[in-house]
Structure formats: structure tokens, C-alpha cells
Structure 1
Amino acid sequence: MSNLTDMEIFARVVSAGSMSAAGREMNLSPAVVSKRIRRLEDKLGTRLLQRTTRQIALTESGQGFYERVIAILASVEEAEAFVSRGSAQARGTLKVAAPTSFGRLHIAPHLGKFLEVNPDLSLNLDLDDGFVDIVAEGYDVAIRIAELSDSSLVARKLAPIHRLLCAAPSYLERHGEPASIEDLAANHICLAAHNQDPWRLAGPDGLETVRTNSPIRTNSSEVVRECLLAGVGIALRSTWDIGPELREGKLRIVLPAYRASKDVGLHAVYPSRRFLPAKVRVFIDYLAQLYGPSPSWDQGLTQWLQPAETENAPASGPAPLETATKVPV
């Protein structure tokens, strides 16, 4: 069996992105780190890393080895925690990825309380709206707002996510409310980020597709939100994002019979492994209790959140465990 410490160094090099960065994290010189990686490659009889003067990259063998190594190290960490501190005690560093706006609004404000009850745990929270490869980038868990599909990852649903059409009163005063989907598409400004076009809506007549026609093009969902509040146009937004504005009257729901054709879920996604580390388990349990099937952001909006009935819509129900793939956050 390969030396466990060499595997730890290898995993740290991959997650840190360079041997020098890994060395700093482990208090080892770059020369020692390089020597240990070479020793591991010699032991295995294969090259794990492609090295250049500026960066490293995993070989095909290295990628497969890395995926297995992090599972082994997680199991070792869990075993050590069970023996020394008890299986329910979370410790170490938890690396989490989450969508930018959601992380800022609904995760960051609650981290203080989480760390108070888990004093031996530190947290590294990365906010990013792009693709995140959980395994390759060394994340323990990622928070996803998406419809999940099959993969080797595992997910737990934390809360429902509802998306509704809305506009600021100032926009509706100037342009009036759309009377139908056809009116919306033909006579109104529809705001959306690049990856949110077109809109697929469900309503009384089935599924409808609306091509957005915003005079503002952006890759930022937050820009769309600010334009929406400023009265630039109509947008399809999640209630976690605009719930307070709807309750305060800063935004109004339009075409209430329509909503996103599929109400995606909020999920915690993590690498598939038999033994889930305590640090991951307590974090996921904390968020599940914090949000739940009736999250705070939906308070006062229940009348608008009933599922849209369409002839093509399949019956569905929440499931605690689902398979998951990389999806936009």
C-alpha cells in the first residue's frame, strides 16, 4: 500500500493548485513536496501530474487516483474523529461552494451560529455562479439551485425553489400589466441573464416558451435583479431572491397563473461515499433545519406558490436523496 502521507501531499497539491502552495499549507518545502510526489509516482508506476513552470495538471491516471484518494482520506478522517472525538463531533476545515447571491443572502448570515455550535470546525465558503467540479476542486459540499440529473454524486434536497414573473410598480404604471403570454412576449421588456433565456413557463394552457428581449445584456443575475427593482422590465425570479420585495410591495407578481415550468430545488451536493464525514453531515443538517419545506423566503407568498397544472406535467414529489451532476449554481 502507498504511504498515506504521500497521498495526503498529493491531494493537497491538487486542491492547492501548485506544489509551492501545498508546501506552505503543510509547512513543507517545495523540494520535499516534489520528492514525495515523485516517490508516489514511482511506487505506482505511472505519472499522476503534468508539470510546467507555472502550473500542474492531472493526467488521466492522476484524475482517477485523486477521486479515490480523497474518498480514502475522508474515511480516514471520519475514523479518527470517531475514535478521538466521537462520530458526531465535527472538526477540521469544511470547503463549501454556493451560488453568489444565495450564499450572501441565506448562508453567510447564519454561519456565526453554525460555528458557535461546532467550535472545532472552520469553514471555507466560495461563492461562484459558474460550474464547480466538486471532486476535482476538492469541495466537501456544494449548494445547488437546479434540476438535478444522474451522476456519481449524491444530493439532499434542502428546500423547494419557486420562480415567478414580477415587475416593479413603476414599470407597470408606464407599460401596464401583460394580459397574456403573447402580450408579454410582444409588448413588454423581459429581463434575463444570458443563461436564463428563454423562459419556459407552465400555465393553464400548458407549457409556453418566451424569448427575452432585454435592451441590457449581462451574465449577472444580480444585474437583472437591480434592473427589475429599478423598473426597467419584467423578470422571472426565485422567491428566495425577491420575497421581501414582494411582501413590501416593491415588486408585484404579473401573470400569476404562470411560473417556471419546473420548480427547481435547493440541494446540498457531495461526493458519493459510504461514510459521510461528520463536518459535512452537521452542515447539511443545519441548512435543512434552517430552510425546510416552507423556507422563510416564501413567508406570505403561499397563494402564489401552488404548482402550475399542465397536461404535460408529470407527477412529482420531494425526495430526500437524489443523484446529481454539475449544474450552474
Structure 2
Amino acid sequence: MSDFTDMEIYARVISAGSMSAAGREMNLSPAVVSKRIRRLEERLGTRLLQRTTRQIAMTESGQGFYERVIAILASVEEAEAYVADGAAQARGTLKVAAPTSFGRLHIAPHLAKFFKANPDLGVNLDLEDSFVDIVGEGYDLAIRIAELSDSSLVARRLAPVHRILCASPAYLQRHGEPQSIADLMENHICLAAANQDPWRLVGPEGQVTIRTQAPIRTNSSEVVRECVLAGVGIALRSTWDIGPELRDGKLKVVLPEYRASSKVGLFAVYPSRRFLAAKVRVFIDFLATLYGPDPYWDEGLDDWLKLPERTREDA
């Protein structure tokens, strides 16, 4: 057997959970599987697995090796499929994580179009607002709305994200419109989910930070959305979330010269690999084309999205 086959056996042992289970899947005896794993460890000069009578566990080196091996095997599988089919046809199932509201509003409605163009692909879409461990939890990619810092992951910007202060006409009729940041902080109810507090805004005098205060505390951005629509207070919301409500007058922009930093964007984030799986590349390209630098959800909002001259430097 070749060294490549030894790597394949190693990956199968990890996915199957034991050498005997891997042997059954590959039609090999447990003794042969064990021998090939030992040969691989000897060639690499390190232990990949910790063995007990009941189970196996990867060493730190084994974990890193496994992550790279499955990437290599996926690339080889795609290369073979390319030659067999005469085209780079993406196939398989994508495991994708995305923010709850964004996934519901701007990913799910477009999946029919994606599946029509890619009939051999499926998508396992997990919606949650916390950042997942992409590598540790086995995701192919995650969609994130953030100001991303340096990491071991690769990120591709899919679209800008504009976040503006807004309130319902009913709230403004009762409380009046804030005339300044000081007025906003002293006299108004500011709504935010726990992970969106404090607000960091950019305005004519530069960056300002506001700690929100409201009669409701929640970990759900969707709860905040419903509260601002119901007239509970003022919120900092993304235009992808409230574009229709701004256009039909259910919400009104307040303090339009202030908004969140334009460094925040919509990103596709995926493990740093030399070879990007075709299924991942196809999905990211689909989203990048669907959204782009002027996303559809910002249509008709030009008047609100024009940044004051002093804040353009932050863009």
C-alpha cells in the first residue's frame, strides 16, 4: 500500500471511531489497519493516536495531521471527479453556520436558485448568533457580520454592512427625536442585544461609545427588532434587517450623521487551506454575486447611506 493509502486509513479510523470499525468499512482486518497506522507514525516520527483497550484518541499532532489529511483527501476526490465528469462539478453536502436573522432573510430564500444551479450539492445550514468553532465543529464555512481581526481563518468580504439608528414613528411621537448624542443617552431608551452592547458609533466628532439602557434585556437580536418596531425604543440596526421597514415608513432614521463603523462587513469565513473544496468555492461565489458591493437590501436607501464628510475617512 502507498503512503497516501495509509493517510486514507488514518482518516477513516478517526471518522469511524475505532480501527475495527474502519477495517469493516474498508474491508481490511484490524491487524492490517493497526499495522498501517504504526507504519505511518514511524514514517512521521510522531504518535498520532493514544490507544486504550476501549477507545482511541488523537494526540495534538494527530489532530493537526487529521485536519490536513481530510483537506487533501477532499481535494483528490474532487480532482478525480473532475477527470471523470469532464468538468469541475461541485458535489456533496456543505455545513454552513450563519447568523439567525440574516440566514432566514438572505440565505434561505435564495437556496432554491443555488440548488437549481448545483443539483449535486446539499446544504446543512445552522443558524445561531454566536461565533462557532469552524474547525472544531466541522463547518465548511461560516457567514459572519463583524469587524474581523487576524486569525488562522481565511475571510472573503461579501458585502458592506450599514448600521443606523432608528425608531418607530409612534416612539418618536411620544418621546421626540434625539437632537444629539447627549440627548440620546440621557433622555431615550436604547435597545440592544447583550452581544451588541455597547454601541460604537462614528459621527462628526469621531467615534463615540454608548452603553445602552432599556427595560428589556435579551440575547436575541430578533427580539430587539420586534421591540423597536413596537415602539419600545431606539435601536442600532443593519439595513439588511430593516430595509423594507425604512422604505414603507414603519421605522425612521434618527441622528443620521451617526452610524456604526463601516469596517464591519459581511464575510464568508473558512479554514485556511491551500486547496479550497469546490463545493465551498461555489457557495461563496454564489453569495458574493448575490450580494456584492451594492447589495439588493440597500436599494432605495441612498439618502440614509450617504456618510457625512468627516466619517468618510473611516470607510
TM-score after normalising by structure 1: 0.82
Structure 2: how far apart are the matches of 1:178 and 1:27? Answer: 70
Aligned pair in 2 of structure 1 residues 174, 64: CA closer, same or farther (>3 Å)? same
Structure 1: how far apart are the matches of 2:302 and 2:262? Answer: 17
Q: CA deviation at 1:208?
A: 1.1
Q: Does 1:40 align with 2:37?
A: yes
Q: Would the aligned equivalents of 1:198 and 1:212 in 2 still touch at CA under 8 Å? A: yes
1:8 maps to which residue? 11
RMSD: 3.0
Q: 1:170-212: CA deviations, max 9, x gaps?
A: 1111111101000000110000111111111111111111110
2:180 maps to which residue? 180
Q: Would the aligned equivalents of 1:77 and 1:277 in 2 still touch at CA under 8 Å? A: no
Q: Would the aligned equivalents of 1:90 and 1:118 in 2 still touch at CA under 8 Å? A: yes
Aligned pair in 2 of structure 1 residues 293, 262: CA closer, same or farther (>3 Å)? closer
Structure 2: how far apart are the matches of 1:56 and 1:168? Answer: 58
Structure 1 unaligned residues grouped into runs of 5+: 14-18, 317-329
Q: Would the aligned equivalents of 1:158 and 1:293 in 2 still touch at CA under 8 Å? A: yes
Equivalent residue pairs, number: 304
Q: Would the aligned equivalents of 1:207 and 1:310 in 2 still touch at CA under 8 Å? A: no
Greater Cα radius of gyration, structure 1 or 2: 2
Q: Does 1:199 align with 2:199?
A: yes
Structure 2: how far apart are the matches of 1:156 and 1:175? Answer: 42
1:323 maps to which residue? none
Match of 2:106, SS state, is: helix
Q: Would the aligned equivalents of 1:158 and 1:268 in 2 still touch at CA under 8 Å? A: yes
| Letter in structure 2 aligned against 1:305 | L
Q: Would the aligned equivalents of 1:6 and 1:40 in 2 still touch at CA under 8 Å? A: yes
2:115 maps to which residue? 115
2:163 maps to which residue? 163
2:129 maps to which residue? 129
Q: Would the aligned equivalents of 1:49 and 1:62 in 2 still touch at CA under 8 Å? A: no
Q: 1:223-282: CA deviations, max 9, x gaps?
A: 111111111110000000111111111111000111013341111112222222221121
| Letter in structure 1 aligned against 2:75 | S
Q: 1:85-139: CA deviations, max 9, x gaps?
A: 2453111111211111111110011111111111111111111211212222222
Percent of counterpart pairs with the same letter?
68
| Letter in structure 2 aligned against 1:277 | A
2:261 maps to which residue? 261
Q: Would the aligned equivalents of 2:190 and 2:234 in 1 still touch at CA under 8 Å? A: yes
| Letter in structure 2 aligned against 1:227 | C
Q: Does 1:73 align with 2:73?
A: yes
Match of 1:257, SS state, is: coil
Q: CA deviation at 1:27?
A: 9.0
Match of 2:293, SS state, is: coil
Structure 2: how far apart are the matches of 1:231 and 1:257? Answer: 22
Q: CA deviation at 1:156?
A: 1.5
Match of 2:219, SS state, is: coil
Q: Does 1:218 align with 2:221?
A: no
Aligned pair in 2 of structure 1 residues 180, 36: CA closer, same or farther (>3 Å)? farther
Structure 2: how far apart are the matches of 1:37 and 1:310? Answer: 66
Q: Would the aligned equivalents of 1:169 and 1:251 in 2 still touch at CA under 8 Å? A: yes
2:208 maps to which residue? 208
Structure 2: how far apart are the matches of 1:123 and 1:52? Answer: 38
Match of 2:66, SS state, is: helix
Q: 1:268-302: CA deviations, max 9, x gaps?
A: 11222222222112111111111111111111111
1:273 maps to which residue? 273
Q: CA deviation at 1:11?
A: 5.3
| Letter in structure 2 aligned against 1:6 | I
1:327 maps to which residue? none
Structure 2: how far apart are the matches of 1:72 and 1:281? Answer: 16
| Letter in structure 1 aligned against 2:166 | C
Structure 2: how far apart are the matches of 1:243 and 1:56? Answer: 52
Q: Would the aligned equivalents of 1:50 and 1:59 in 2 still touch at CA under 8 Å? A: no
Structure 2: how far apart are the matches of 1:133 and 1:102? Answer: 19
| Higher RCO (C-alpha 8 Å, min separation 6) | 1
Structure 2: how far apart are the matches of 1:271 and 1:290? Answer: 22
Q: CA deviation at 1:40?
A: 3.3
Structure 2 unaligned residues grouped into runs of 5+: none
